[in-house]
Amino acid sequence: MATDKLWGGRFTAEASDWVQAFGASIQFDQAMAAEDLEGSLAHVAMLGQTGILTTEETAQITAGLHKLQTKLAQGELDFTIANEDIHLNLEKILTDEIGPVAGKLHTARSRNDQVATDLHLYLKKRLGMIIAELKDFQAVLLKLAQENVETIMPGYTHLQHAQPLSYAHYLMAYFNMLQRDVERFEFNYQHTDISPLGAAALAGTTFPIDREFSAQKLGLTEVYHNSLDAVSDRDFSLEFLSNASILMMHLSRLCEEIILWSSYEFNYLQLSDAYATGSSIMPQKKNPDMAELVRGKTGRVYGNLMGLLTVMKSLPLAYNKDMQEDKEGVFDTVKTILPAIKVLKEMLATATINKEKMAQATQRDFSNATELADYLANKGMPFRQAHEIVGELVLSGLQTDTMLQEIPLEKYQEISPLIEADVYQALESKVAVERRNSLGGTGFAQIKAEIIRAQELLK
């Protein structure tokens, strides 16, 4: 006696409930229910178009699938572990809805091309959302940059004061990082925009199907040209996870700076109350939790990438059940990065920056030391010698708490007659920033040109 599974013909005994639960994916792949129905609608349209099914059968199945779409939207579909995955669950529900004609839907199709199609559709949709969200974030960075071309802050290397910067220049660095993220996701989109439907189990089919027709119905631009590759490829998911990992790495660096800068010691930035939380014991606390969480969630996204890389490693062609493990990490990554981008965008847009504190931090420090060395080099002194002289001035300045701009002109002229009264202007941090107009530098004119270039990119 066959079992009552949809594939039960050659089976005489059923697995126990816990084994079925272990093998099932319905617990998580129901996230692709809408895409599974879309895939089925395109497939049945193709079966009708090619005459593999009659007009009547095609109409019955199509109507049934539409009914399932409505029920899904209203939350009226009940899935069960006994039916293993989203594909068999929906097929069973369709059978209950329209009777045995539902069984014709699976003609010239396998769950192997079906699941791959669902994943392509699922990810393509989300990639569009992610790209849009990233562009929104870029627009916020660009707006803040426009408002802060002349906002001076210390620039760091090794987290030590290095040279002063424009805050706009700092923001535009993140704009450019996100631009590369957008471009990576756009490339990823192209690799996702391909239809595996019609590859069947692994070898294609003897039915006279029209794969281009179903791809077009699905809005997928291309078809896979090798049926084995079509059902075995998860590169598009891996690209997504690796792009998401790089994105999260970028966001975590920004978060780290937000966290540091909102500390008492820095006090460059104050988060809006809407993006901070208090402590249950210390009444004075305002914690940058959301930034910490985005930084922390980077870990799970990296984990999802490592997970899928490891699942796919050494898998023989074509489908293996291991590949059922491909989905949760992708779903989790989508659920993680969309709100992460959004929360950081809002956090930055609503934060107040403490311009005085930022500027002050460039006043009583030696971040203008390069300026003095450049000043001397400009007047003909070899840069190495200038570096040496300024280094000694910094050393004695540190001992006597005297900044370079506080050294009297007479003292400077003893050191070198090349130094004249205009040195004090050169030592002002704002002047130092304003003048750095080499291509890609922090000079005001450069930043303004960069902002125009960025506006073009966002169009």
Active site residue 16: no
Structure tokens at 62: 């199509």
Q: Which of 108-116, 186-194, 289-297, 364-372 is the region at the interface with ligand ARG (rule: CB under 6 A)?
A: 108-116
232 in contact with ligand ARG (CB under 6 A): no
CB of 62 to ligand ARG, least distance (A): 23
CB of 23 to ligand ARG, least distance (A): 9
Smaller CB separation from ligand ARG, 204 or 441: 204
Out of 16, 158, 225, 280, pick the active-site residue: 158
Smaller CB separation from ligand ARG, 144 or 330: 330
120 in contact with ligand ARG (CB under 6 A): no
**149, 448 Cβ separation under 8 angstroms:** yes
Active site residue 161: no
**347, 271 Cβ separation under 8 angstroms:** yes
429 in contact with ligand ARG (CB under 6 A): no
CB of 346 to ligand ARG, least distance (A): 35
CB of 88 to ligand ARG, least distance (A): 8
CB of 437 to ligand ARG, least distance (A): 56
Smaller CB separation from ligand ARG, 230 or 323: 323
Smaller CB separation from ligand ARG, 158 or 321: 321
324 in contact with ligand ARG (CB under 6 A): yes
Select the residue interacting with ligand ARG from 35, 85, 239, 434 (CB under 6 A): 85
Residues 13-52 that bind ligand ARG (CB under 6 A): 25, 29
115 in contact with ligand ARG (CB under 6 A): yes
CB of 227 to ligand ARG, least distance (A): 14
Structure tokens at 434: 């304003």
Structure tokens at 303: 């984990």
Q: Which of 234-242, 320-328, 352-360, 434-442 is the region at the interface with ligand ARG (rule: CB under 6 A)?
A: 320-328
Is residue 74 packed enough to be buried (19+ CB in 10 Å), middle (13-18) or exposed (0-12)?
Answer: exposed
436 in contact with ligand ARG (CB under 6 A): no
Smaller CB separation from ligand ARG, 84 or 239: 84
Out of 263, 272, 279, 396, pick the active-site residue: 279
Smaller CB separation from ligand ARG, 334 or 386: 334
Q: Which of 94-102, 254-262, 319-327, 349-357 is the region at the interface with ligand ARG (rule: CB under 6 A)?
A: 319-327
CB of 338 to ligand ARG, least distance (A): 23
What letters, b where the CB count within 10 A reaches 16 and e where it falls short, cover 280-298?
eeeeeeeebebbbebbebb
Tell me the C-alpha distance between 459 and 388, whole Å.
Answer: 49
111 in contact with ligand ARG (CB under 6 A): yes
79 in contact with ligand ARG (CB under 6 A): no
CB of 453 to ligand ARG, least distance (A): 44
Report the alpha-carbon angle 19-22-28, nearest 5. 145
Smaller CB separation from ligand ARG, 110 or 446: 110
Select the residue interacting with ligand ARG from 58, 60, 112, 163 (CB under 6 A): 112
323 in contact with ligand ARG (CB under 6 A): yes
Three-state SS string across the chain, please?
Answer: CCCCCCCHHHCCCCCCHHHHHHHCCHHHHHHHHHHHHHHHHHHHHHHHHCCCCCHHHHHHHHHHHHHHHHHHHCCCCCCCHHHCCHHHHHHHHHHHHHCHHHHHHHCCCCHHHHHHHHHHHHHHHHHHHHHHHHHHHHHHHHHHHHHCCCCEEEEEECCEEEEEEEHHHHHHHHHHHHHHHHHHHHHHHHHHCEECCCCCCCCCCCCCCCHHHHHHHCCCCEECCCHHHHHHCCHHHHHHHHHHHHHHHHHHHHHHHHHHHCCCCCCCEECCHHHCECCCCCCCCCECHHHHHHHHHHHHHHHHHHHHHHHHCCCCCCCCHHHHHHHHHHHHHHHHHHHHHHHHHHHHHHCEECHHHHHHCCCCCCCCHHHHHHHHHHCCCCHHHHHHHHHHHHHHHHHHCCCHHHCCHHHHHHHCCCCCCCHHHHCCHHHHHHHCCCCCCCCHHHHHHHHHHHHHHHC
Q: How many residues bind ligand ARG (CB under 6 A)?
A: 10
CB of 332 to ligand ARG, least distance (A): 15
x/- letters, 166..195, toward ligand ARG (CB under 6 A): ------------------------------
List contacts with ligand ARG (CB under 6 A): 25, 29, 85, 111-112, 115, 319, 321, 323-324
Catalytically active residues are 158, 279
